[in-house]
A and B are shown apart, each in its own frame.
Chain A
Amino acid sequence: MGEEEGLHQAQLLRLIMPVETQEERGETASLLGEKQPLRCSLLCEAVAPDFHQVWNLMGTRSWEPLPLSDATLRSHDSWTCSPLVPEYRLWDPVHMFLTPVVPHWPFYNLDTMFVRGLKRKCFDGEEDIEGTLAGIKAIPSYNLQRQSLLDMSLVKLQLCHMLVEPNLCRSVLIANTVRQIQEEMTQDGTWQMINTQSTGQASVDRLVSTDILCRSSREQAEGKHVPGYSTFSKDFEGDQAQDSSETMSTASSVQAPRNLPSNVWEMENPQENKGNFQKSLDQIFETLENKTPNSVEDLFSEVDNSYYDLDTMLTGMMSNTKMGHCDGLESFSSPTTTTSSSNCKSDLNELDHIVEILVES
């Protein structure tokens, strides 16, 4: 494939995932080229030094490069895998280890990543793929580099949890790097504070504390501490709670419903879902209208940084872990386990409707 040549080999992600195809789920197969949202598709983003390429899990159960002009692959519950995880492995956030081959949960929401501007390119059907990629290729901005460094560092911190105790020196150095980036981003004004409802937490304190890497804003506001969660600080203590998966599930079921409205993928009820999705769409539209192709940096600057909060990222998945792959994917819109699948489907239908509108416009 031509696209591959431009990609740094070490950063290409190819995954084989045993996820049900649409046919298996009893839905009609969608053909490439049809403007139909593919449900529960897993999208993966491979980061090349110069540009991003989006890969899609097709019914063939293998990753293929996503034809960017086919702007149908948007689904609110689509996820990406971190491009920084080594090939063939994914981070299993429940059991906190790198899966050998078959991953369960990737953990980035592609939608929020799309805010970066890829989505805009996709909607604009007149630009061809090469032009799109070339456009992105030309701007490896400092902010982008800094952002990917931050991503990389956060992933590295999470990857510390293995059978053997993590290397403390390495963890400290990475944490210091993250702190340094956060400080700089705060000074630049590109770091948006996550928790608008926090009670009296000084932002400076949060920056210098390792807390920001570990705890969700919700926890701090409520003064709650998740005991079993393998937070960074806990690692330093050297005690790893082994019932972490259980406590995480507990925590998530408490946390998830109250997550920030701007997190599209954590929804409580259909109405709010719609509103949330609409809000992020509004954001996208705003950027589409106001920004020029050259201000990719500005686009990045409006990324909702909440997804860098590892807790926020992961809580959405915790409650789904008890289900099978596909069930989890389907009901992804409702992180709490109590929501029935029928609700999920209705949520999906509404969102699909919205996406269809977008696509056809």
Chain B
Amino acid sequence: MAGAGGGNDIQWCFSQVKGAVDDDVAEADIISTVEFNHSGELLATGDKGGRVVIFQQEQESSTDSSSDAERVSSPTNKTQSHSRGEYNVYSTFQSHEPEFDYLKSLEIEEKINKIRWLPQKNAAQFLLSTNDKTIKLWKISERDKRPEGYNLKEEDGRYRDPTTVTTLRVPVFRPMDLMVEASPRRIFANAHTYHINSISINSDYETYLSADDLRINLWHLEITDRSFNIVDIKPANMEELTEVITAAEFHPNSCNTFVYSSSKGTIRLCDMRASALCDRHSKLFEEPEDPSNRSFFSEIISSISDVKFSHSGRYMMTRDYLSVKIWDLNMENRPVETYQVHEYLRSKLCSLYENDCIFDKFECCWNGSDSIVMTGSYNNFFRMFDRNTKRDITLEASRENNKPRTVLKPRKVCASGKRKKDEISVDSLDFNKKILHTAWHPKENIIAVATTNNLYIFQDKMN
């Protein structure tokens, strides 16, 4: 079973780790979102301090193996086909600042809840980042040339005395050290009363949706002063509120279709062509409750924390507290596949409720070919499920395995009874070390796993 768990038995190796080494975690450094761009060359992370850090994969050619090779190609001209380069910091910027809502006397956290990349259309990269209330469109552009030879200015910027100008010349562009600039191009604000939990870019690449606890709004990327409300589940009497929206996503291919999940474990698929306000769903995905597992915590653990469409658009995956479920969009009454992430926690639900861990929102992701799904767990464990072979693997993101090319050892949690060697008992799991955010490269077997304040990058072993 060693190394098994992926299609063709992927062997996962440690590649890199980013972030501070010490155990004292600064609150602002807690990673809150991780996202690869559409080519996989850029990897963006958002943290609780409102910063976005973008890593770029180095282009490794077969002949050039120097580790500090200069960037000879910009992200737009990726000619190498087999790139397994390292990810290095490309750009860092402060996306959101803490705000104070004077009306409610409450702070608005600057924590980045989600980042979504736009597909690349020109030389620049665009991404949407959001905190609880405001979405921003950022343009990340490179500058590797600058004009030299101004007539009226010296090279350092000081103005020349006009009387000393005797000849005229045409300024020319000369190469300079690469500079990456991030600038906010659009700010979409004041449209959400509740906390934004999801953003999703439509396949038309012109519109996107933003979802908070009770409403979903549709935006046009060019228009910041207006948005359409397409879902509203706020009851007339707030005392009757029993269900909130937990995640939403556009279908990858149908620009009129989106889904949203709820705290009661249901997923609703809506078609925007049906009506302007999509309060009536087209499909309702809900699995009947298992009466043998019923407890006071049944509803809480059924709350869906993440929903992701497969790349093909045929399936969608949902993550609730204990399991990952794969749904076929054509079948509403039950999922086609269910994978238990950490079933051993079912007997500990009361303790997890007490220390609030039961409310942790784990994310999940697909690999590029939709054959493997991945999600996080506690103790810095993360799990992968191969849909074809039905095998699963548990790996750990820790600095102990931090030699590059070290194959990760599969981990096992012992639920009860005798603990075998190398197994970890449930009681010794560290519930403060949780992996909530994971991302899979859209094309390669490269994964980014975020622990509390560190970002781990693992790659499959190339022979």
Interface residues of A (CB under 8 A from B): 10, 84, 145-146, 149, 152, 156, 163-165, 167-170, 172-173, 175-177, 180-181, 209-211, 232-233, 236-240, 242
Whether A233 contacts B238 by the Cβ 8 Å rule is yes
Cα A239 to Cα B242 with chains together (Å): 19
Given contacts A167-B195, A169-B246, 19 further A-B contacts (CB under 8 A): A145-B350, A149-B296, A149-B350, A164-B109, A168-B244, A169-B263, A169-B303, A172-B242, A173-B299, A173-B303, A173-B359, A177-B299, A180-B296, A180-B299, A209-B240, A210-B241, A236-B241, A238-B193, A239-B104
Residue with the greatest number of chain B CB neighbours at <10 A, chosen from A176, A177, A233, A237: A176
Whether A164 contacts B107 by the Cβ 8 Å rule is yes
In the A-B complex, the 4 residue pairs with the closest CB atoms: A236-B238, A210-B239, A168-B213, A233-B239
Whether A177 contacts B296 by the Cβ 8 Å rule is yes
A152-B353, A170-B359 known; A238 and B296 CB under 8 Å? no
Whether B106 contacts A172 by the Cβ 8 Å rule is no
Check B205 for interface membership: any CB of A closer than 8 A: no
A149-B350, A163-B106, A242-B105 known; A173 and B241 CB under 8 Å? no
**Count the A-B residue pairs with Cβ separation under 8 angstroms: how many?**
79
Whether B213 contacts A169 by the Cβ 8 Å rule is yes
Q: Which of A84, A164, A172, A177 contacts B297 (CB 8 A)?
A: A177
Closest to A184 in B: B296
Cα A133 to Cα B125 with chains together (Å): 66
Q: Which residues of B contact A152 (CB under 8 A)?
A: 353-354
Whether B263 contacts A173 by the Cβ 8 Å rule is yes
Q: Which of A164, A176, A232, A233 contacts B106 (CB 8 A)?
A: A164
A10-B355, A164-B107 known; A238 and B194 CB under 8 Å? yes
Q: Which of B106, B194, B240, B300 contacts A168 (CB 8 A)?
A: B194
Check B181 for interface membership: any CB of A closer than 8 A: no
Q: Which residues of A contact B244 (CB under 8 A)?
A: 168-169, 172
Whether B359 contacts A240 by the Cβ 8 Å rule is no
Please name 12 pairs of A and B residues whose Cβ atoms are closer than 8 Å in the assembled complex, sorted by A: A149-B350, A149-B353, A152-B354, A164-B106, A165-B106, A169-B244, A169-B263, A169-B303, A177-B296, A177-B300, A237-B238, A240-B104
Cα A168 to Cα B238 with chains together (Å): 12
Check B232 for interface membership: any CB of A closer than 8 A: no
Closest to B105 in A: A242
Q: Which residues of A contact B246 (CB under 8 A)?
A: 169
Q: From residue 336 to 365 of chain B, which have CB atoms closer than 8 A to chain A?
A: 350, 353-356, 359
Q: Which residues of A contact B356 (CB under 8 A)?
A: 156, 170
Tell me, rounded to whole Å, the shortest Cβ–Cβ distance linking A248 to chain B: 16
Tell me, rounded to whole Å, the shortest Cβ–Cβ distance linking B196 to chain A: 12
Q: From residue 132 to 190 of chain B, which have CB atoms closer than 8 A to chain A?
A: 132
Tell me, rounded to whole Å, the shortest Cβ–Cβ distance linking A155 to chain B: 10
Interface residues of B (CB under 8 A from A): 103-109, 132, 193-195, 213-214, 238-244, 246, 263, 296-297, 299-300, 303, 350, 353-356, 359
A164-B109, A210-B239 known; A176 and B353 CB under 8 Å? no
Q: Which of A164, A170, A172 contacts B243 (CB 8 A)?
A: A172
Closest to B358 in A: A173
Cα A240 to Cα B354 with chains together (Å): 26
Cα A210 to Cα B213 with chains together (Å): 18
Cα A146 to Cα B295 with chains together (Å): 11
Cα A167 to Cα B108 with chains together (Å): 12
A165-B104, A168-B244, A177-B299 known; A211 and B263 CB under 8 Å? no
Whether A176 contacts B299 by the Cβ 8 Å rule is yes
Q: Which residues of B contact A169 (CB under 8 A)?
A: 213, 244, 246, 263, 303, 359
Tell me, rounded to whole Å, the shortest Cβ–Cβ distance linking A227 to chain B: 15
Cα A240 to Cα B101 with chains together (Å): 11
Q: Which residues of B contact A84 (CB under 8 A)?
A: 354
Closest to B243 in A: A172
Closest to B103 in A: A239
Cα A236 to Cα B238 with chains together (Å): 6
Tell me, rounded to whole Å, the shortest Cβ–Cβ distance linking B131 to chain A: 11
Closest to A178 in B: B296
Tell me, rounded to whole Å, the shortest Cβ–Cβ distance linking A354 to chain B: 37
Cα A180 to Cα B105 with chains together (Å): 32
Tell me, rounded to whole Å, the shortest Cβ–Cβ distance linking B191 to chain A: 14
Residue with the greatest number of chain A CB neighbours at <10 A, chosen from B108, B241, B355: B241
Tell me, rounded to whole Å, the shortest Cβ–Cβ distance linking A40 to chain B: 31
Cα A311 to Cα B104 with chains together (Å): 22
Whether B263 contacts A172 by the Cβ 8 Å rule is yes
Q: Which residues of A contact B214 (CB under 8 A)?
A: 168
Closest to A238 in B: B193
Q: Which residues of A contact B299 (CB under 8 A)?
A: 173, 176-177, 180
Whether A168 contacts B359 by the Cβ 8 Å rule is no
Cα A84 to Cα B355 with chains together (Å): 10
Cα A210 to Cα B240 with chains together (Å): 7
Cα A175 to Cα B296 with chains together (Å): 12
Q: Which residues of A contact B263 (CB under 8 A)?
A: 169, 172-173
Cα A156 to Cα B356 with chains together (Å): 9
Closest to A237 in B: B238
Closest to B297 in A: A177
Cα A145 to Cα B241 with chains together (Å): 26
Cα A149 to Cα B213 with chains together (Å): 25
Q: Which residues of B contact A181 (CB under 8 A)?
A: 296
Closest to A233 in B: B239
Residue with the greatest number of chain A CB neighbours at <10 A, chosen from B106, B108, B239, B300: B239
Cα A240 to Cα B103 with chains together (Å): 9
Q: Which residues of B contact A210 (CB under 8 A)?
A: 239-241
Closest to B235 in A: A236
A165-B195, A172-B263, A173-B299 known; A238 and B104 CB under 8 Å? yes
A239-B104, A240-B104 known; A176 and B242 CB under 8 Å? yes
Q: Which residues of A contact B105 (CB under 8 A)?
A: 240, 242
Whether B296 contacts A172 by the Cβ 8 Å rule is no
Q: Which residues of B contact A237 (CB under 8 A)?
A: 238
Cα A170 to Cα B197 with chains together (Å): 13
Tell me, rounded to whole Å, the shortest Cβ–Cβ distance linking A344 to chain B: 35
Whether A172 contacts B195 by the Cβ 8 Å rule is no
Cα A233 to Cα B236 with chains together (Å): 12
Cα A210 to Cα B238 with chains together (Å): 9
Closest to A164 in B: B107
Tell me, rounded to whole Å, the shortest Cβ–Cβ distance linking A170 to chain B: 5
Tell me, rounded to whole Å, the shortest Cβ–Cβ distance linking A88 to chain B: 16
Closest to B244 in A: A169
Q: Which residues of A contact B103 (CB under 8 A)?
A: 239
Q: Which residues of B contact A236 (CB under 8 A)?
A: 238-239, 241
Closest to B350 in A: A149
Tell me, rounded to whole Å, the shortest Cβ–Cβ distance linking B266 to chain A: 14
A238-B193, A238-B194, A240-B106 known; A167 and B359 CB under 8 Å? yes
Whether A172 contacts B109 by the Cβ 8 Å rule is no
Cα A111 to Cα B410 with chains together (Å): 54
Tell me, rounded to whole Å, the shortest Cβ–Cβ distance linking B353 to chain A: 7
Q: Which residues of B contact A145 (CB under 8 A)?
A: 350
Cα A165 to Cα B108 with chains together (Å): 8
Closest to A145 in B: B350
Tell me, rounded to whole Å, the shortest Cβ–Cβ distance linking A91 to chain B: 16
Tell me, rounded to whole Å, the shortest Cβ–Cβ distance linking B18 to chain A: 27
Tell me, rounded to whole Å, the shortest Cβ–Cβ distance linking B99 to chain A: 11
Cα A149 to Cα B103 with chains together (Å): 35
Tell me, rounded to whole Å, the shortest Cβ–Cβ distance linking A190 to chain B: 15
